[in-house]
Chains A and B, each alone.
Chain A
Amino acid sequence: MPEFVAESTSTYAPAVVPERGWFLARTIIDCIFASFACLLVCGQIGCSTHAKRLATPRNHFYDGRLDECKEGLEKLSKSRHDKDVVNLDLAMVDLLSGKPKISEQRLKLARNRFEALESESLTEKTVSMWTDDQVRSYAGEDYEKILIHAFLALTNLLSDGADAESYTLQLQAKHEELVQACAERTKSNTQPSYTPLPLGFYLRGMLREATLRDYDDAIRNYEATASLLPHCQPIQWDLNRAKHGTHSQPGNGVVYVFALVGRGPYKVEVSEQPTSDALLIADRIVSAVGPYKLPPTIAPIKVPDIALPPTDVDAVGVSVAGAAIGPTYSIADVGQLAMDSYRANRNAIVARAVARRVIKKATVAAAKETMKTDGLASVGMDIAGIAWEATEGADTRCWGLLPNDIQVMRIETPKGTPSIQLTPLRGGRPVGPSKQIDVTVIDGRNTYVLCWFPDARSQSQVITAQ
């Protein structure tokens, strides 16, 4: 390697300037290795999203193989980034395996974790601008935070019911808090479009009526439920009974059948093509007229979106001792809540993805400017930049084992141990095999039954309060 000695006025040893061509070759090789290393490292983060990792346990769950589902979820929960959201799925598995107390503990842990993560970490925010949103701790979507409280109330009803009322109050308070936070985030005076869950008001009304004393509270809550479900006739019956009647006649008890119907929402990764196209045009314009040459936007911007799987069950028919009572009615449209709450926050997610791309392009442009690269070296760095952008993945972490709808049916029946038959319906017609269960009805008290019919073919689960 020839060496060129530069004159120096100092007493130090003369500086050695290597040949320019050798330096260029080394830079190109470094860029290629850097992009390859980037692909290897970032691929661990970007290529395998939560949606893909959850696919197998979900299938096991809907096939009724709860033990295998639990095994798969427990493996996923070892990952630091997934453990909070997988805990929610494990709570559903425990609930439908007849372990409401364990389910309640998991839900409380998830609730506390999500509340702690509501304030963002500066470190995670910064790192996510250089990688993708999957490195951030998952603080839960708004609909998940509301549903945690709803399921806390349901699981508690199925164990001792001591805290169910508190959970219903927390559910309402949480909804108001989230609506306010959303309005502050968007700096808007208009309320977000997602409405409160009627479930919270209904459960509170149900519990207050069961005291046989606080009918005024029951009326207030049933009125709130009726205002959210104006076309639901059974709610009008409940309201009328709270206004003029009593909880039950002497010698009778009440059975509440809560039905979790259909397969619920989950997140999938989609390409935000219009934004990607606009960014491509923008970076070409900047490269053409500006001093910086930006890597082109070839890899599309990936964002999560809510997917609602089709369902072939829309209600559950209830019969007691062979006599048909009627179908359950909806008090919580989980799918609609997920869509509405996600839509309210989607702009922020897309904006963050765009900001991330801009930062990455600026980083590559700055590196090219500093190293004064051109020709092949510049192309190499552009390729590295494109590879860096391509390894981004959407954050598809979500509570994946939710129902599409939560429904209820109230039955007043004489005390004893009647047999209840639950049949999945679609359009009022049976679409699957019925499930039969014996319940204990106590004079003047409520008995709770929880059942899940995800679809006509899947194994349904039924549990009662102990």
Chain B
Amino acid sequence: MDRREWLGMFGFLICGPALGCKGYQYGHIIKPDAPNLVGSHEAGAEVFDPLVDEAVAKLLARQQTVTPDTPCGPDGLPCPKTICFVGIENKSMEDIGDFKDKLYQQIDSRLLEASTFRAISRRMVDAALFETRLRPDSLMIPDNMRLFTAVLERNGAPLDYLLYAVLTSGTTTRNSSTQRDYDLTLELVNVHTGVTDKQSAEVRKGYHKTAAGKVWNYNPFKR
């Protein structure tokens, strides 16, 4: 075999697979303990998962505190509080797309796992909003709150608390780097007394146009 034949065969071997390998996509299952992918343009699971964990944990810790006013059952243990998780308001800079419903389900599941709260089903909440045609942000008006709680109680779900989740963000820009602070605030309102409790969690994330941006802006010598 001379050089030309050898080169031709070598070239075919290299190019041959490339001719047939267009347009494929590959996937794999990520293990539960593996870290999340960090989004390059928007917040993703790496931001929202710790936000939900921290905010809900703080709220549950505060609400588990027993005071002399806490109603207790015949066994002396505090009664679980009936809570209506109204929904998540996105007031941040980014559109969270399919994460909104996921966050709702995550928070709802965490609340259900705790014995502190007895959550009303989302479907009953939606049915009550449908029947009353009230906006979620107008439930704080006393007449609207009475109407909404009356509908839920009529459907067999007496209500103690309304829970709102609000997602906010703050953006700081420096040349080609940006820092965005994401806050998830859980606001719990007692429908009988109007007393509120608020817990929040924050995650800060940096976005950089160059690979060296992180090193340049967030190194120990910067302070």
Contacts and interface: CB of A to CB of B under 8 A. Distances in A.
The answer to whether A and B interact is yes
Interface of A: 115-123, 166, 169, 211-217, 220, 246-250, 444
Given A214-B87, A246-B135, A250-B133, A166 B23 contact: no
A216 B135 contact: no
B134 A123 contact: no
A121 B19 CA distance: 6
Contact of B133 (A115, A117, A211, A248): A248
A169 B126 contact: no
Contacts of A116: 22-24
B49 interface: no
A116 B15 CA distance: 19
Given A169-B97, A217-B100, 6 more contacts: A121-B19, A213-B86, A214-B100, A216-B89, A249-B133, A444-B130
A116 B97 CA distance: 25
Interface residues of B, number: 26
A320 to B, nearest CB: 21
Name, among A115, A216, A246, A249, the residue most crowded by chain B CB atoms within 10 Å (CB to CB): A216
B18 interface: yes
Contact of A215 (B19, B131, B135): B135
Contacts of A220: 90, 95
Contacts of A213: 86-87, 125-126, 129, 136
Contacts of A122: 15, 18-19
Contacts of A118: 23
Given A169-B97, A216-B89, A119 B23 contact: yes
Nearest to B166: A216
A107 B10 CA distance: 41
Contacts of B125: 213
B91 A216 contact: yes
Interface in B1-44: 15, 18-19, 22-24
A123 to B, nearest CB: 5
Nearest to B21: A119
B137 interface: yes
Name, among A115, A119, A166, A212, the residue most crowded by chain B CB atoms within 10 Å (CB to CB): A212
Nearest to B136: A213
Nearest to A169: B97
B98 interface: yes
Nearest to A445: B130
A123 B95 CA distance: 41
Contacts of B134: 246
Interface in B99-149: 100, 125-126, 129-137
B98 A166 contact: yes
Of all A-B residue pairs in the complex, the 9 with the closest CB atoms, nearest first, are A116-B23, A119-B22, A212-B129, A216-B89, A246-B133, A123-B19, A119-B23, A121-B22, A444-B130
